[in-house]
């Protein structure tokens, strides 16, 4: 009986990941109606999704409830949420198409690299650079979803500025992935690769 509360808490990270996935359809629907209210609600939904991502990681580490399923679904949910949101923002002319192409191409390339690393038996650990990239992407997309001016803040302009920072971090972290991966491949006796 004493283990029941802990067992219940251990399920929280996966539940939060499912919540994040469930938020994707409302965001898509709201962005079909690009007025002030739907845009604001889309931004709020997206912000809540990113908060669940933070809580997900906190509970997983705090209660040591990291599962194979969670390690698969958590990053997948993040990538789907970010990619779908950016695609929905393109016809609204709130995000440059070329930026979306660069960011999505980086994610696909790194995902392929991860698969290659697993086959080569290379250890890939998280680095802070990738986390900063995710944070800035999240803030940028929330701002671009809200789009309009509230409390004297032009959320579209704010979103674009933050997106530029996210883009630099996206390219930088992607380059670091390939640089260290290739170094590890050609130096098999070197240290394990630690990537964002």
CATH number at residue 182: 1.20.120.1760
Q: How far apart are the first and last CA of the chain?
A: 40
What interhelical angle do 36-62 and 68-89 show, nearest 10?
Answer: 160
The mean pLDDT of 129-148, rounded to a whole number, is: 92
Please state, in angstroms and as integers, the Cα–Cα distance from residue 147 to each residue in 12, 19, 80, 95, 159, following that order.
32, 24, 21, 10, 8
Domain-embedded: residue 173? yes
Domain-embedded: residue 192? no
Is residue 30 within 8 Å of 92, Cβ to Cβ? no
Confidence of residue 49 (pLDDT cuts 50, 70, 90): very high
What is the tally of structural domains in the chain?
A: 1
The predicted structure's pLDDT at residue 187: 61
The predicted structure's pLDDT at residue 114: 75
Domain-embedded: residue 86? yes
Domain-embedded: residue 194? no
Is 118 exposed, middle or buried, given 0-12, 13-18 or 19+ CB atoms closer than 10 A?
A: exposed
Structure tokens at 178: 């390939």
* Tokens 């630099």, located at residue: 168
Q: pLDDT (tens digit, 9 = 90+) per residue, 169-196? A: 999 988 888 887 777 766 655 544 444 4
Q: What is the pTM of this model?
A: 0.83
The residue range of the domain holding 129 is: 3-186
Domain-embedded: residue 191? no
Q: pLDDT (tens digit, 9 = 90+) per residue, 65-113? A: 666 655 667 778 888 899 999 999 999 999 999 999 999 999 888 888 8
């Amino acid at each position: 009986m004493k283990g029941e509360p802990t067992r219940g808490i251990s399920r929280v990270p996966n539940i939060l990941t499912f919540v994040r996935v469930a938020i994707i359809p409302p965001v898509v629907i709201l962005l079909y109606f690009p007025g002030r209210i739907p845009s604001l609600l889309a931004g709020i939904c997206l912000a809540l999704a990113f908060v669940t991502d933070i809580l997900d990681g906190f509970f997983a580490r705090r209660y040591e409830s990291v599962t194979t399923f969670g390690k698969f679904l958590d990053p997948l949910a993040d990538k789907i949420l970010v990619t779908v949101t950016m695609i929905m923002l393109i016809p609204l002319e709130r995000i440059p198409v070329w930026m979306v192409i660069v960011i999505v191409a980086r994610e696909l390339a790194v995902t392929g690299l991860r698969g290659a690393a697993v086959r080569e038996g290379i250890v890939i650990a998280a680095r802070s650079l990738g986390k900063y990239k995710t944070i800035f992407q999240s803030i940028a997309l929330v701002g671009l979803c809200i789009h309009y001016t509230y409390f004297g803040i032009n959320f579209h302009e704010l979103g674009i500025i933050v997106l530029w920072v996210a883009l630099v971090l996206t390219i930088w972290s992607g380059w670091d992935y390939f640089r260290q991966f290739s170094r590890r491949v050609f130096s098999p006796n070197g240290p394990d690769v630690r990537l964002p």
